[in-house]
Chain A
Amino acid sequence: ETGVTQSPTHLIKTRGQQVTLRCSSQSGHNTVSWYQQALGQGPQFIFQYYREEENGRGNFPPRFSGLQFPNYSSELNVNALELDDSALYLCASSPGGTSGEGETQYFGPGTRLLVL
């Protein structure tokens, strides 16, 4: 069983640029969630996709957008990068379905983004 994978592992961008991060969900999972983790803090929920539809969004501006593909892989796009966007971006997949409170999310290794 393949776990959650993310690419790239590290990325350096300059302010104002755009970035795309990618995530492949664990086999059999149809739900993908994205989190931003600033240095020294816990992860913050960005949004979730379930069967290619956005299924919840955290307190992030519209320049953070996403996609989920028919194979349930996902992309996170960030436009007009700001210095504060520097963080570890984590993708998590889960089986989906009823989205009950007990559904466990399994995380990938993350992408470290540095904005200069």
Chain B
Amino acid sequence: AQKITQTQPGMFVQEKEAVTLDCTYDTSDPSYGLFWYKQPSSGEMIFLIYQGSYDQQNATEGRYSLNFQKARKSANLVISASQLGDSAMYFCAMRGRFGSARQLTFGSGTQLTVLP
């Protein structure tokens, strides 16, 4: 079974500063994908970034980067130069390759608030 743990229910960051949102995972799948989604109060889940378990380099997408430490089973999201519009709920998710692991499993989320 897959499991995603997000230990920070809420985080605050000053505008223009960087912030790291933590995510640890557990899986028995040898091959898996890790995702981060942003969910504003409107409800829509917005895809941010993807990291494959066999990718040699950490993924980056604009101001988002994923700090992937496979041995520690962690996949932290780093947001650089925070903006007020970054205030939202952030979910870490994973997907395996085989059987029931192919479904997307989400963590409980971190509510990020960017302060002016």
Binding site for B on A (CB under 8 A): 33, 35, 41-45, 48, 56, 58, 88, 90, 92, 99-110, 112
- On whether the beta carbons of B37 and A107 are closer than 8 Å, the reply is yes
- On whether the beta carbons of B91 and A42 are closer than 8 Å, the reply is yes
CB nearest to A102 among chain B residues: B33
Q: List 16 A-B contacts (CB under 8 A).
A: A41-B109, A42-B91, A42-B107, A45-B105, A56-B100, A99-B102, A100-B97, A101-B29, A101-B31, A101-B33, A103-B95, A104-B50, A105-B104, A106-B47, A107-B44, A107-B47
In the A-B complex, the 10 residue pairs with the closest CB atoms: A42-B106, A107-B45, A101-B33, A45-B103, A110-B43, A109-B44, A101-B97, A102-B33, A101-B95, A43-B106
0/1 string, B22-53, CB within 8 A of A gives 1: 00000001011101010000111111001011
Q: Does B83 interact with chain A (Cβ within 8 Å)?
A: no
Cα separation A105 to B35 with both chains bound (whole Å): 10
Say whether, besides A43-B45, A100-B97, A104-B50, A33 and B91 are in contact (CB < 8 Å).
no
- Which residues of chain A are near B52, meaning CB under 8 Å? 101-102
Cα separation A92 to B96 with both chains bound (whole Å): 17
- Which residues of chain A are near B97, meaning CB under 8 Å? 100-101
Binding site for A on B (CB under 8 A): 4, 29, 31-33, 35, 37, 42-47, 50, 52-53, 91, 93, 95-97, 100, 102-109
Cα separation A44 to B32 with both chains bound (whole Å): 18
- On whether the beta carbons of A56 and B102 are closer than 8 Å, the reply is yes
Given contacts A92-B104, A102-B52, 16 further A-B contacts (CB under 8 A): A35-B104, A41-B108, A42-B107, A42-B108, A42-B109, A43-B45, A43-B91, A43-B104, A88-B43, A90-B45, A99-B102, A101-B29, A101-B32, A105-B104, A106-B47, A110-B43
- On whether the beta carbons of B35 and A104 are closer than 8 Å, the reply is yes
Report the minimum CB–CB distance from A17 to chain B (whole Å): 22
- Which residues of chain A are near B50, meaning CB under 8 Å? 102, 104
- Which residues of chain B are near A110, meaning CB under 8 Å? 43-44
